[in-house]
Structure 1
């Protein structure tokens, strides 16, 4: 950590977590998430159709993406689902650029 000649030497922090459902996470959970630069949340159980509602409660410091959960049957909860987040102040460079 710290700076040398104006460079940030803190490194990057990654969080990967099987959270077993995202809808009931509280502010303490999101405060913890904010301590990281890259976030991967698995087993979110979030369907594509619920994504727009959920985006409003996610920390604004991140760029979020969803791989929606799937329902095998009409009734019951969805399975799987992944949400990834990257802090907005981190520049993303796509392959081939």
Structure 2
């Protein structure tokens, strides 16, 4: 996991305050605002995942027939987000928001 530049504690990906996430977020331990230097990875992953979910929900009748599309979409996004956070929140990509 990555470390907060202010309090030097580990950043837990699901305990952050995501009020306006791509612009800035708050560390759960010290409440200081942090921002991503580059959010390209987040937006590319988000758009590809959104495209994948739209295709799955449109062309696979299993998801619409049993009404599990929303559950699969939300659970899948949590899994994808958890996988990209070590790269997204590395120490070279975090800085204090001013």
* TM-score (normalizing by structure 2): 0.28
More strand by share: 1
More helix by share: 2
* TM-score (normalizing by structure 1): 0.28
